[in-house]
């Protein structure tokens, strides 16, 4: 009897041990499957990484190159052995090294999942190339790495530079003869008086010629300022002035056309510290847009008021209004609404340049509009 009981105890112990062994086997099998899946993923990753037509590299948090593909080798002119273990900043001109430090901060310190930039790299033969860099952050064995795709954009950069240079040169070349023509037309208009033996048609043509020359001058100015913006060369020359003083002076082209007149309301003595010429340009652009969106009305309202520590200037028309679909895009470069909604002309740069000027002043710009009721373009800038 005791032997049977001892045997039963032993059988129960063997059963428990068998269950433990089965459990351990399942764990080991799961670990093996996970390892096989990981290896399979690594094989697929390396295949994509190595066969990519674009330069690929993996960097650690200290910008050290851990892995490169053949396209990266071909782009830089180094062997894999020469690249791996170096830092990407070792292959970057000194003035562009802060770009990689920015990437390092964005990915590892601010924990952004992805980041892109345009910068320069130095090839083995010491030639410099422009590259578009796209990086994503990923984890491997508990460590964060940056997976970076590098595209050679040297040709695109050169074409953009040539376009900027062309715009700059063309704008300067056009500005001088247009200014000379405008001065002569202004002189002609001053000389034309009722007692002169000149018919009304000639007077009308002379005034229209000056108005259109002024419009052409604005277009050239837009090209010139856009070129400077693209190159980051649109500095502010600030001074103190009364905002209302420049409203009448900057809109003489409306008086020449004769169909529109400005009505000023608000604070006529509000003084600001800003770049007077550039604020003048913004007001001209807003007034021109009021004209554009109100072909069938002749009154344009300009209001100036103090809002907290800011000065606000608004330009209101009582025209057709602008559809809600167009409103979010009005301050984008080259954007132009369809002809059904406006007396459409221009390059689509005026409002974009205006928004950049206001942003440089630390202000805001916007528009409110209702179909059938008109539009109000406005901006605010700090008073001091």
Cα–Cα distance for residue pair 369/330, rounded to 1 Å: 12
Bridge partners (DSSP) of residue 133 are: 117, 150
Is the distance from CB of 136 to CB of 114 less than 8 angstroms?
yes
Check whether 167 has a pLDDT greater than 70: no
**pLDDT score recorded for residue 329:** 87
Cα–Cα distance for residue pair 55/133, rounded to 1 Å: 10
Using CB atoms within 10 Å of the CB of residue 110, give its burial: 0 to 12 exposed, 13 to 18 middle, 19+ buried.
exposed
Closest CA to 113 of 131, 93, 135, 129: 135
pLDDT in tens, 87-118: 999 999 999 999 999 988 888 888 888 888 89
Check whether 342 has a pLDDT greater than 60: no
Tell me how far CA of residue 301 lies from CA of 50, 77, 78, 233, 297, in angstroms: 64, 63, 65, 33, 12
pLDDT in tens, 264-322: 899 999 999 998 888 988 998 898 888 877 777 778 899 999 999 999 999 999 888 88
- Domain extents in the chain: 50-152, 154-234, 236-384
User: What architecture is the 50-152 domain classified under in CATH?
Assistant: 2-Layer Sandwich (3.30)
pLDDT in tens, 348-369: 677 888 898 899 899 999 999 9
Phi, psi of 196 (to 5 degrees): -75, 145
Instruction: Say if pTM beats, i.e. exceeds, 0.85.
Output: no
Cα–Cα distance for residue pair 270/381, rounded to 1 Å: 12
User: What architecture is the 236-384 domain classified under in CATH?
Assistant: 2-Layer Sandwich (3.30)
What is the share, in percent, of the chain residues with pLDDT greater than 90?
Answer: 30
| CATH of span 154-234 | 1.10.287
Do the domains at 50-152 and 154-234 have one common CATH topology? no
Between 249 and 312, name the one with better pLDDT: 312
């Amino acid at each position: 009897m005791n032997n049977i009981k001892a045997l039963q105890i032993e059988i129960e112990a063997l059963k428990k041990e068998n269950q433990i062994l089965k459990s351990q086997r399942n764990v080991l099998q799961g670990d093996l499957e996970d390892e096989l899946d990981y290896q399979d993923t690594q094989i697929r990753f390396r295949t994509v990484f190595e066969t990519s037509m674009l330069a690929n590299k993996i960097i650690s948090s200290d910008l050290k190159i851990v892995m490169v593909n053949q396209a990266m080798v071909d782009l830089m002119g180094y062997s894999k052995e020469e690249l791996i273990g170096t830092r990407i900043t070792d292959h970057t001109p000194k003035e562009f090294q802060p770009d990689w430090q920015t990437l390092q901060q964005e990915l590892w310190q601010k924990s952004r999942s992805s980041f892109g930039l345009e910068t320069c790299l130095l090839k083995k033969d010491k030639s410099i190339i422009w590259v578009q860099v796209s990086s994503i952050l990923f984890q491997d064995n508990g460590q964060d790495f940056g997976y970076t795709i590098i595209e050679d954009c040297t040709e695109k950069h050169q074409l953009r530079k040539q376009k900027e240079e062309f715009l700059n040169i063309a704008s300067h070349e056009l500005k001088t003869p247009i200014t000379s023509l405008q001065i002569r037309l202004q002189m002609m208009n001053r000389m034309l008086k009722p007692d002169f033996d000149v018919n009304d048609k000639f007077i009308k043509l002379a005034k229209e010629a000056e108005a259109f020359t002024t419009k052409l001058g604005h277009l050239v100015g837009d090209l010139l300022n856009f070129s400077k913006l693209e190159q980051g060369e649109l500095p502010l020359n600030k001074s103190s002035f009364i905002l209302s003083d420049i409203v009448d002076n900057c809109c003489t082209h409306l008086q020449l056309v004769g169909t529109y007149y400005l009505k000023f309301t608000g604070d006529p003595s509000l003084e600001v510290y800003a770049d007077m010429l550039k604020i003048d340009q913004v007001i001209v652009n807003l007034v021109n847009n009021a004209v554009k969106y109100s072909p069938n009305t002749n009154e344009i309202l300009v209001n100036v008021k103090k809002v907290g520590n800011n000065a606000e200037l608004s330009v209101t028309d009582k025209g057709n209004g602008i559809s809600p679909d167009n409103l979010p895009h009005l301050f984008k470069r080259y954007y132009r609404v369809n002809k059904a909604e406006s007396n459409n002309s221009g390059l689509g740069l005026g409002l974009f340049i205006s928004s950049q000027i206001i942003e440089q002043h630390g202000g805001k710009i916007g528009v409110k509009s209702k179909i059938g009721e008109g539009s109000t373009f406005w901006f605010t800038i700090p008073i001091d």
